[in-house]
Chain A
Amino acid sequence: MMPGFWVLVRRDLQLAVREGGAIGTALGFYLIVVALMPLGLGPDLSLLSRIAAGVLWIALLLAALLSLPRIFEADYEDGALEVMATADLPLELVAAAKSLAHWISTGIPLALMAPALGILLNLDIGSTPALIGTMVAGTPAISFLGAIGAALTLKARRGGLLLALLVLPLYVPTLIFGITAINAVALGSDGFWQSFAMLVALSMGATVLGPVAAAAAVRPQLQ
């Protein structure tokens, strides 16, 4: 059973890389949203360093949101998802594999890019390990909960806009703990490990809830 899981992960990763554009677009979107912030808020460096963690996380959520439809859409449209549903691998694990591939191909590149964008926002350089660490720990929740939204909106009209409305409220806990963890290091307050542990817990919970709910949402649409 598990070989099929990893084959699916590798297939989705190859598709993400070879299709091109998908990862690059998300990174470009991330860059431009962060770059717009100082233009809107003014170039005051002390203000920017105070809001840097929040801006980096919110922009990351938006960039990841744009790529969520990719999890199921293409396979649903060309019928590959129907084949996967009839295979030995349970649909829950198919959803888990596709979410995992989304995390590796979108969550990790965005997390690795964040420190470079932090420089634009005058974020303390010393907080780079904390920044990458919290984002790598927190982004699984974005991919796995996002898979639920992607599955629910497969047949919906205006799916993209609807996806944002459905999924963004679910991201609130990740956003809160992600920002407080980074700020604990960058602004020198304590409680980094507390927030970090919560972030890991949220991601682990999401890896259970996400595939089960996403499979429950995909199944009735395959008939």
Chain B
Amino acid sequence: MTNQSITQKLANPTRFMGLSDQLLPWLAGASAAIIGYAMYLAFFVAPPDYQQGHTVKIMFIHVPSAWLAMMAYVLIAISSFGLLVFRHPLADVSAKAAAPIGAAFTLLALITGSLWGKPMWGTYWVWDARLTSVLLLFFLYLGLMALRSSIEDEALAAKLTAVLALVGVVLLPIIKFSVDWWNTLHQPSTGLTTTVHSSIRVPLLVSALGFSLLFFTLHLKAMRNEILRRRVKALRMAEVDRAQGSQAPVAAS
């Protein structure tokens, strides 16, 4: 009930700009402080793992990145649903802003994962089920961004990208399942899911919180940029119309 009224209030871009302007400094400050604290815990408090040694520190960046890689896609899917079903004016702005950030965290998860894999598995890349499904998630992100950039009409690009995002969200669990099934034919589980001791787990959770806040900071900032970009574009179009002497009214965004 209240949740719905908030999304309805935010449908006004001007109100959204005002609110996000007030919120951003706090969000940015909190994410910087919490990530700083998490890195302090990771490098000075958490003990090196008895098997992994100091390479375990990579986990404090790798795990939050992998989590955000998935969360960003869920956010895109929800936004796409909001665009296609409710025609919420900010839904497309949110979906468009989240895609590159999600792709960046996915890439970060892949890179940190392979840096961890080199000392642990002796190679930068193995066709482990998890690595493979994250790689496929990365391809989906690339597809979303490529589709949007290759269609000139922005409103049309928004709708088509939303369709693709929803198709992706239906197929992602199936892809994940098939990759897991494929891999179990080749090798047993690598034991990544064993229980984690609290000396590692607590910094990991703090780090995940900090990176999540960082994601929301970046997402909000990217949404603001997108709204400003659209306003500039609308003003330019109005300017062109005026220069041509037509009586078209100034497009208000």
* A residues at B contact (CB < 8 Å): 148, 152-153, 155-159, 162, 165-166, 168-170, 172-173, 176-177, 180, 198, 202, 205, 209, 213, 216-217, 220-221
Contact = CB atoms under 8 A, between A and B. Distances in A.
Contacts of B164: 148, 152, 166
Interface stretch (B50-58, B71-79, B167-175): B167-175
A165 B146 contact: yes
Contacts of B167: 148, 170, 209, 213
A177 B174 CA distance: 12
Contact of B150 (A157, A172, A217, A221): A157
Interface in B127-181: 136, 139-140, 142-143, 146-147, 150-153, 156, 159-160, 163-164, 166-168, 170-171, 174-175, 177-179, 181
A169 B163 CA distance: 16
A169 B153 contact: no
A157 B182 CA distance: 35
A216 B146 CA distance: 19
Given A148-B164, A162-B143, 6 more contacts: A148-B167, A157-B150, A162-B147, A165-B139, A170-B168, A180-B182
A216 B147 contact: no
Contact of B160 (A158, A170, A176, A220): A220
Contacts, number: 78
Interface of B: 84, 136, 139-140, 142-143, 146-147, 150-153, 156, 159-160, 163-164, 166-168, 170-171, 174-175, 177-179, 181-182, 185
Contacts of B143: 162, 165-166, 169
13 contacts: A157-B152, A165-B139, A166-B164, A169-B140, A170-B167, A170-B171, A172-B136, A172-B179, A173-B177, A176-B178, A209-B167, A220-B156, A221-B160
A216 B156 contact: no
A152 B160 contact: yes
A152 B160 CA distance: 6
Contacts of A202: 174
A220 B136 contact: no
Given A152-B160, A170-B171, A216 B150 contact: no
A165 B178 contact: no
A169 B140 CA distance: 7
Contact of B185 (A157, A180, A220): A180
B198 to A, nearest CB: 37
Nearest to B166: A213
B147 A166 contact: yes
A152 B140 CA distance: 14
B175 A169 contact: yes
B175 A172 contact: yes
From DSSP, what is the main secondary structure of chain A's interface residues?
A: helix
A148 B143 CA distance: 13
Contacts of B185: 180
Given A202-B174, A209-B167, A209-B170, A155 B182 contact: no
Closest 5 CB pairs of A and B: A173-B178, A156-B150, A169-B139, A166-B143, A176-B182
Contacts of A217: 159-160, 163
A172 B178 contact: yes
A168 B140 CA distance: 10
A73 to B, nearest CB: 15
A198 B179 CA distance: 13
A213 B163 contact: yes
Contacts of B146: 162, 165-166
Contacts of B151: 155-157
Contact of A220 (B159, B175, B177): B159
A166 B171 CA distance: 12
A152 B147 CA distance: 8
A209 B169 CA distance: 12
